[in-house]
Amino acid sequence: MWFGTLVVKNLIRRPMRSALTVIAIGIAICAVVSLVGIASGFEETFRNIYKRKGVDLIVARAGGAGQGTSATVPLSLNEKIKSIPGVKDSIAALVDVVSVGDIPSVVCQGWIPETVVFDHMKVLEGRMMNKYDVGEQRGVMLGIVLARNLDKKVGDKLEILPGGPLFEVIGIHESNNVFENGALVIALSELQELMDKKDKVTAYSVILDPEMKTSDPELIPTVRKQIEALDKTITAVPAQEFVKGLKELQIVKAMAWITSTIALVIGLFGVMNTMVMAVSERTREIGILRAVGWRPKRVLQLVLLEAVVLSMIGAVIGIVSSVLLVRGLTNVKAVAGLIDSTINPIYFVYGLVIAFVVGLIGGILPARRAARMLPTAALRQE
């Protein structure tokens, strides 16, 4: 009998126990791949936003990382930042999270109309926002995901805050960024009034002159110092470093790993329990194998391989489940537009590696116990 065939037969002759173990591992790996994948996807999405726009520095309130959208800086700094040598453009933006209709969390972005910040958007219906979409002609652009979830089309009216003014949907846009597809955009002045943040913005996205940046490797730190000298309450941070330091993202990633770790520990004990019981029930069988010439190392390999096979089957089921879970979540209104439907394939590899390690750890003690059995003692076992 082939070694691999023996492993498979040992697993399938106790189908219920093997199935429960596979399910436990599958849930654990699904948690790792989906939760950690989603959390890391948030960070990657933010990185891509700034990378595609060519943003070099983010200017925000010093120490405001933990204050979320409540941390603001003066709008008056915009022109001062633009006047600094080496600065090509400075884009002011106000961001807040509001509840619209039956969707509890919608990202609301306030931008200055007719600026480069709109250039990456593709208008699917209606038109792009212009400087006249303020006052009595309040206009709002909806991301394609948000428009679908709200069941709104061009020309419809939208109340962003309960009891607040009505906005007319002037356009439905699509972006290469999942957050913007689930967000809405109104004129900066309108959002400032709506949120009672007159002359305030969340941050500035600073784009440096490409030629000067190439010729002067010290341009970024030099401009950083000059920007921070404008106001003691602000800080200028490289875009990628800013994303990495976001407290909200760090908390999400930490919670994802904590939850996944708990699930993995449960799966680990599931594998260990299954293999301990399997070894106990097969004492005579192991004694016969030892009596016919199997060395302890061979018995050790047999039990370990059974544990690893169980874990790897669970990993495959967990990875498939995570893909289906994430795609399903993108259709839930409460989170649609916040979650990317794709998971970086690297997390599939992580899932397989973690399952392999869990199988080894869960099987090592039962395997050592089986390998240490003496043939005569095992054969006497009823």
The domain containing residue 326 runs over which residues?
A: 3-44+249-379
pLDDT cut 90: percent of the chain above it: 20
> In what helix (H) or strand (E) does residue 362 lie, and over which residues does it extend?
helix 346-371
User: Would you state the structure tokens that stand for residue 338, as one six-digit string?
Assistant: 């916040």
Are residues 121 and 67 part of one domain? yes
**How would you classify the pairing of strands 57-61 and 203-208?**
antiparallel
What confidence tens digit (pLDDT) does each residue in 306-331 have?
Answer: 888 888 999 999 999 988 888 887 77
What's the confidence (pLDDT) of residue 13? 73
Are residues 145 and 280 part of one domain? no
> Is pLDDT of 213 > 70?
yes
Around 359, how many Cα atoms within 13 Å sit in the side-chain half-sphere? 26
What's the confidence (pLDDT) of residue 185? 93
Are residues 195 and 278 part of one domain? no
220 assigned to some structural domain: yes
Number of structural domains in the chain: 2
Are residues 34 and 76 part of one domain? no
Please say which residue of 198, 232, 266 terminates a domain.
232
123 assigned to some structural domain: yes
Are residues 183 and 319 part of one domain? no
> Is pLDDT of 219 > 80?
yes
Are residues 228 and 345 part of one domain? no
Gap between the Cα atoms of 169 and 179, Å rounded: 18
Are residues 301 and 173 part of one domain? no
> Is pLDDT of 119 > 70?
yes
Q: Is 305 helix (H, G, I), strand (E, B) or coil?
A: helix
DSSP 17-77: HHHHHHHHHHHHHHHIIIIIHHHHHHHHHHHHHHHHHT--EEEEETT-GGGGGG--EETTH
The pTM assigned to this predicted structure is 0.68
Higher-confidence residue of 299 and 188: namely 188
Are residues 224 and 129 part of one domain? yes
269 assigned to some structural domain: yes
Please say which residue of 174, 202, 232 terminates a domain.
232
Please say which residue of 232, 263, 284 terminates a domain.
232
Angle, CA of 269, 271 and 273, to the nearest 5°: 65
239 assigned to some structural domain: no
What confidence tens digit (pLDDT) does each residue in 30-87 have?
Answer: 988 888 887 777 777 777 777 777 888 999 888 655 455 567 888 889 899 999 999 9
Are residues 117 and 192 part of one domain? yes
Are residues 180 and 219 part of one domain? yes
Are residues 158 and 260 part of one domain? no
Are residues 212 and 107 part of one domain? yes
237 assigned to some structural domain: no
271 assigned to some structural domain: yes
What confidence tens digit (pLDDT) does each residue in 241-287 have?
Answer: 887 766 667 777 788 888 888 888 888 888 888 888 777 777 777 77
